[in-house]
Amino acid sequence: MKIGKYNFDLENDPIIMGILNVTPDSFSDGGKWDNIDAALKHTEDMIRDGAKIIDVGGESTRPGYTLISDEEEISRVVPVIEKIKENFDVPISLDTYKNNVARAGVEAGADMINDVWGLKWKDRDMADLVAKSKAAVCIMHNKDNISYSNYVEDVLAELKESIDIAHKAGVNDSQIVVDPGVGFGKDYEQNLLIIKYVDRLKELSYPVLLGTSRKSVIGLTLDVDKDNRMAGTVATTVMGYERGCSIFRVHDVKENYEALMMAKAILNA
């Protein structure tokens, strides 16, 4: 898969996407990296530790988050994207579901849009931007309720709806990654199940991104707070890789990268 100018063999080489939240209120690391110098230092550390993509987010999507204006989100992410591009040779993903923010991000140098609403937010105009810009896009499963008739089949069907939106706008299959949306539109048991059956997403014939890092499903399972969920995250990374996932969006890059490389060595032995 090509993300910007970068080529990835995701069938054979799983990769880590390092999370860079430039927000004051993200559930796990809000306020840590919301100035340029701190963001650049953290980016440098994540690349050194094995991250192959940096995912920049300017609005928290934690439960109960506060919606901010497009202008505020743009003011948070664009300077960081520009500075990362000036200082590092790494593809940048922009974590946003808002068309105006995505447009500004792509103009600033973002190579990928990570859309937590799977191209379904409001006017559904994100797909047009992706098609015109040729940026890669991660299409995540999400909905505003947890009602399902046949859970895993419904998730697949709803992801297919998002993919149809992409196709109708002219997005190429080569641009698309899919994400099961752990923590979004799902209760605790549903989150466990979609991780267990994440291999079913391979039926869609796209690379699969898994984002479980420090999420509530880990906290609830292990009875630990947000600062003590690294081991649980690493477990999901290894299990996700065994089930066919290719990209792993994480906070703790070094630990997840090393676990992923160990799992890869064993499976390829």
**Residues noted as catalytic:** 215, 249
Give the integer Cα–Cα distance in Å for 216 and 41. 27
Q: Tokens 């809000």 correspond to what residue?
A: 30
Give the integer Cα–Cα distance in Å for 52 and 83. 17
Q: Say if CB 63 and CB 103 are below 8 A apart.
A: no
Q: Say if CB 2 and CB 136 are below 8 A apart.
A: yes
Q: Cα dist. 227→8, 13, 27, 219 in Å? A: 31, 29, 10, 9
Q: Tokens 């505020």 correspond to what residue?
A: 72
Other C-beta atoms lying within 10 Å of the C-beta of residue 204 = 16
Give the integer Cα–Cα distance in Å for 260 and 249. 12
Q: Say if CB 145 and CB 189 are below 8 A apart.
A: no
Give the integer Cα–Cα distance in Å for 34 and 21. 7
Give the integer Cα–Cα distance in Å for 226 and 27. 8
Q: What is the DSSP letter of 22?
A: -
The packing angle between helices 99-108 and 70-87, to 10°, is: 20
Phi, psi of 31 (to 5 degrees): 90, -10
**Distant-in-sequence, close-in-space partners of 14: CB < 8 Å, separation ≥ 6:** 241, 245, 246, 247, 248, 260, 264
